[in-house]
Structure 1
């Protein structure tokens, strides 16, 4: 089951951009880089509040490219309204394939890519079945793999570019147990 979601706060700034802020106190791990495109519902990292983890997502109708990140890929303590990032909202309209983290839509399908460096696993444990088999269907938000970094496991979720879309796994692009780097292709899905 995927982690529950907490939506960030947002506000426009004087330069026409959008500022993303923490929805409350906690510890945040920001997983995005400057220059990446974000849209409403994009997962940007994890926030832990009162010993419970949540996926941290972009609020609707926010859309833009990350111009400035105020956190890095480490756990950082934040307060309600702490500044997390600034988006530039004048992104090209024809760049829809990059609006979802770690993914790319193309004529060949929807490719899910690694969001961090580490060891890729397509199953929750060595003796468990794969999260999704070839030809299997998944819903948006479903876990489809893990990346391990120093005994910490980061789940990989199916996040299609269109809200509510389903996917059919047509190709596994990374071997179970393989070392992967950021943007390494992991899966190819046909969207439904």
Structure 2
């Protein structure tokens, strides 16, 4: 519904593809190998949606856009088809809080010469910044010189900080993320992996 509303406001074509039957078929095929049906169905659904998006982009000769913000890409929670060679992530270096700020700015102001109508173009209920502390923790962990101890000292729960730090150290998720635009000096992707090849882990 949000996609249809936003695309209608912006004058963008919106196609609806049914993914549920494909996800259920994939989950059924993999069920003998999996012991947690609920998580299997969720994972199958995300994979099917990624494949459908990539296939639709190929058929239209279009660029597949990944809308995941920086912190989601940092831990592999971007929901984008990693094998889509022409995918692009314009928000790859923008934190969720800043994404919300940009959305509020655009809803209240249209730059001269920009596309789209005046007024609200992004549904208001999507503009509120997330209550989840994970984006704030990941943003701090990626700061130059930051440590688990320094982030915990700001009042965040140690267990969550160490868990996210461990996810951040793992390079595979970022290696599969689509490319984007560098807007800050915070290292992401290969630039962050290279100094960590000695396998040092900061446990606080």
TM-score normalised to structure 1 length: 0.24
Structure that is richer in helix per residue: 2
**Rg: which structure is higher?**
2
TM-score normalised to structure 2 length: 0.23
